[in-house]
Structure 1
């Protein structure tokens, strides 16, 4: 699997990367609550359910598009939370309109088994589960498809 990932990184060398970050909840300063922000943690190639960095493989979490904070009414609490995350990205220095990945988690490639998600190893073959309801597919084929999409996105994507 290591050779497969090394090859993927080489093929992605000139492909665009996206930001990754950590959500830092606001602390109190002299009793006044501070707003949360998303602290930058680097960049990665976004390959569906995987984020590939120069040295790690991460499972994706949430994706947020940065935008300035504005006061507005929301019909749903989930909309309010997404707006708060978008504003936290802006406070963390992510330029408006850019995406940042949060809630990602590193994958231990040495500890993969048949129940790991989204990566697994069965009978010596590296597999990826591309959706919670979907089955596993060979990692090599998955990377080929995702790299092709990243390097040559469909028109108007």
Structure 2
């Protein structure tokens, strides 16, 4: 199962009087399992995704299209190969919060069981079956 890049957004900054454009820099790789990103040593809640695109001049009819392209350009400036996706604005899952019966990201401890809210409007599903299904989908077994 292939991994996907995870990164961090770095805002524009001035270096020796020159403004350096914002970028999204890769900080690792993870397996993407729906609402979760799993690294070798952490579980993260997904955030946003940008597909790297080399900057070019374009005419935009919508501000939202310009904003999406600026994020794609930021990924390219951060060294992400053109066309490759990178996840950013992710958050680590806090297992201590879950152990005390709380919530972290999309995961909820409820009635002694871990459940996941797989979408903003979706209900809760048992975490173990959700992860198992996502792994099977990623491996192409379903």
SS at structure 1 position matched to 2:83: coil
Matched, 1:141 2:129: yes
Residue deviations 1:27-63, cap 9 Å, x none? 1123332111111110000011100111111010111
1:127 alignment partner in structure 2: 115
Matched, 1:118 2:106: yes
Tell me, in whole angstroms, the C-alpha distance in 2 between the residues paired with 1:27 and 1:67: 21
2:7 alignment partner in structure 1: 21
State the shift of 1:144 in Å. Answer: 1.2
1:55 alignment partner in structure 2: 41
Residue deviations 1:84-104, cap 9 Å, x none? 111111111111111000110
Q: Cα RMSD (Å) of the superposition?
A: 1.5
SS at structure 2 position matched to 1:90: helix
Tell me, in whole angstroms, the C-alpha distance in 2 between the residues paired with 1:115 and 1:54: 22
Checking the alignment, whether the CA contact within 8 Å between 2:94 and 2:104 is kept in structure 1 is no
Tell me, in whole angstroms, the C-alpha distance in 2 between the residues paired with 1:51 and 1:138: 17
Tell me, in whole angstroms, the C-alpha distance in 2 between the residues paired with 1:125 and 1:75: 48
State the shift of 1:110 in Å. Answer: 1.6
Matched, 1:94 2:80: yes
Checking the alignment, whether the CA contact within 8 Å between 2:48 and 2:87 is kept in structure 1 is yes
Count residues with an aligned counterpart.
Answer: 140
2:90 alignment partner in structure 1: 104
Tell me, in whole angstroms, the C-alpha distance in 2 between the residues paired with 1:36 and 1:114: 35
TM-score scaled by length of structure 1:
0.84
Runs of 4 or more off by more than 3 Å in structure 1?
A: 113-117
Tell me, in whole angstroms, the C-alpha distance in 2 between the residues paired with 1:135 and 1:117: 14
TM-score scaled by length of structure 2:
0.92
